[in-house]
Each structure stands twice: as C-alpha cells, then as structure tokens.
Amino acid sequence: MLNIGIIGAGRIGRVHTQSICNFVRGARVKTIADPLLSGESAAWAQSLGVAGTTKDYREILGDAEIGAVLICSPTDTHAAISLEAIAAGKHVFCEKPVDHDIGRIREVLEALAEERARHLKYMVGFNRRFDHNFRALRSAVEGGKIGKPELVRITSRDPAPPGADYAARSGGIFLDMTIHDFDMVRYLSGEEVTEVFAQPAVLVDPAIGEAGDFDSAVTTLRLESGALAVIDNCRRCVYGYDQRAEVFGSEGAAACGNDGASTVQLSSAGGVTGEKPLFFFLERYMQAYAAEIGEFLAAVEQNSPVPVSASDGLAAVRIGIAATKSAKEGRPVKLAEIA
C-alpha cells in the first residue's frame, strides 16, 4: 500500500482525493496539506478516511511513510514544490502546468536527471489523455485505421466563463485552457508542433478583456509532417461542456463526441432530442482522473515510464507561450522561436 500526500485542498485536490479514496486500489491518502485548510475541509477529508491534515506541506515531504505526493496547489507553486519533493525523495504527480516559465520547468527536468533522483517518477496531470473517448480515438489513429493523419480538429468550450480576477492571474487562455488541447494535438497525432497561429477575441465578457485576457480563440497549428490542427475555444457554452475531436487522414476519419447523462434520443413529430453534454470537467472526467492516478501508481510500483512526463509538460507550455506570442503580435510563431 503506497501512502500518498496531497498538497492543495482546492477543487482539483478534492477531485484527486475523492478519486483515490473511491476508485484507486493499492494506495491511500495519508495526509492533505493546504495553508488555507478550514475545519470544513478537514472534516471532509476525514469523512473519506484521510487521517492527517495540515497547513504545512513540508510535513508531507518530511514524512518517511509517504512515498508519493500530488501537487494540486496554485500554478505558481508547482515548480518550487516539485523541486522540494524531488529533493525529499518523493515520487511526484504534478497538475498542469509545471510552471508558466520554461526556465523553471527546465530546473525540474535537471533535478530529475540527477543520479539521486533517477529512480523517481514524475508525471504531469493532463487528464484528457485518460478519457475513454480520446483513448479510443488515439487507438484508431495508432492502429492505422485512418491512414496518414492530415488534419486534427478539436473543439473545447467551457459552460461558463471564469471571473475577471481569475483570468488576470491564470496565465491567459492559452496557458490555462487551451494548454489541454495543445497536449491533445500531440497525443492524438503522435507529432510535435512546429508553428502556431492564434486568433483570439473577447466575445463573452468584456471584463476578461479588461483583465488582459481573451475568452474565445481559434488556433491553427502546423505539425512536423506538414499536417494541420485546428482548435476552437470559448469560455461560455450554454448547452454544457463541449469536448469533441476528430482526426482526418488519407484513408478516413475518426471522431469522438460529448458524453451525456445517457445516450437516449427521443424522436417524435416535434423533432429529435437528446441529453445535453455533461456540465463540466468534474462530471466528464472523474473516471479519467482516477485512471491517470492509477497509471501513475502503476509506474511507481512497476518502475516503468510514466505516460505523461515532465518533457510532455514542457512541450505543451512551449506551444502555449508561442500561441500567446502569436495572439499579441498577430502572426504565426514558429516553436523554434521559443527557447
């Protein structure tokens, strides 16, 4: 039984705690740490069987019984805590992104390359790779069922926009929201991105624009083979969480649609109706969260490679930085421009 410490008791920290306690075998959450830990949060953790709560994450890093940590704290703490956890000899699962600064991510990669840390596993949390729909789509592409991939299309729209205060500190739409889609382009195509052209807009909430961000975007990417990818994003989708993808190739196409509460369609003289997409990521991806942690734990137990490495995390951030640069400068940006 592997003891896990979770650093961060916010929304994503709670998601991982629930998925491990309810769905993941072979591991238990021993301690949760958060500097703003409330009595309600402590009681919630204890109700799931988590024995320890603390406001100081270093208690987790100093606990010899804890073998792995999940970093679910604010983004600007990810790299620093990662370095401390690696130095403490802990396996690490870090929510995306490792950092918005490439230099800080490289510090983490360098720490992992040191002799004393080479036995440690470090995985980045891109949960969509573990969704049953996207996995089946990737399997079809890898199996050669569509021939040579030529065009990847991804639609990713949130049900409601965040507040302007969140937009101001999120790193921007490309490093906060679209970064998942950048990772999906790499995952579905099996290729690296060489060029990005982002066309953003403020169409939903003027306050987001006033905070220096965008709420809508269409991003075109060129891949190393010459294939293309197109991503459309919007921070508001009145019918729910819209998550679709298609890979078109030389011998056909494979696509996946949204998950709903059921697949029932009602047909009558008045028309054909069905369920709306599941409302947001907690509903759509809960099983994906459990699956990704299961694979992280398997990599630790079997001493096998993690499915999403720190280098994958770096690649997505580089694309996000290139997209941000493209949006600001109104031109295509080659990945070679990003250090």
Q: What is the mean pLDDT of residues 7-28?
A: 91
Q: Which pLDDT belongs to residue 79?
A: 98
What span, in angstroms and rounded, lies between the C-alpha atoms of 43 and 289?
A: 23
Averaged pLDDT, 64-76: 96
The predicted-structure confidence for 247-269, as pLDDT tens digits, reads as follows: 999 999 999 999 888 888 899 89
| Dihedral over alpha carbons 187, 189, 192, 193 (to 10 degrees) | -110
If pLDDT is split at 50, 70 and 90, which confidence band does 276 have? confident
- The Cα-based distances of 117 to 91, 108, 110 in angstroms read 9, 11, 10
Mean pLDDT of 194-204: 98
Q: Indicate the length of the chain as a whole number.
A: 339
User: Strand 333-334 relative to strand 193-201: parallel, antiparallel, unpaired?
Assistant: antiparallel
Query: Is 2-120 in CATH node 3.40.50.720?
Result: yes
How far apart are the C-alpha atoms of 283 and 96, rounded to whole Å? 19
Report the candidate in 122, 236, 224, 136 with the shortest Cα–Cα distance to residue 188: 136
Average pLDDT over every residue of 9-35? 92
Q: What is the pLDDT of residue 104?
A: 97
The pTM of the full predicted model, rounded to 2 decimals, is 0.94
Q: Which DSSP string do the residues of 159-180 spell out, in sequence order?
A: SSPPPHHHHHHS--HHHHTHHH
Band (pLDDT 50/70/90 cuts) for residue 94 is very high
29 beta partners: 4
The residue to which tokens 């049953």 are assigned: 132
Could you report the per-residue pLDDT of 296-312, keeping only the tens digit for each? 999 999 999 999 999 99
- Can you read off the two tokens belonging to residue 99? 């950092």
Confidence of residue 156 (pLDDT cuts 50, 70, 90): very high
Residue closest to 297 by CA, chosen among 7, 16, 19, 24 = 24
Mean pLDDT of the region 133-158: 97
Tokens of 96: 């995306």
Q: What is the average per-residue pLDDT within 162-184?
A: 94
Task: Return the CATH fold of 129-284+316-337.
Answer: Dihydrodipicolinate Reductase; domain 2 (3.30.360)
Say if residues 203 and 259 touch (Cβ distance below 8 Å). no
Each domain of the chain, given as residue ranges in start order, spans 2-120, 129-284+316-337
**From residue 22, how far is each of 129, 294, 300 by CA, in Å?**
21, 12, 20
Q: Apex CA 136: angle with CA 231 and CA 184, to 5°?
A: 30
Q: Give every CB contact of residue 226 below 8 A, 6+ residues apart in sequence.
A: none
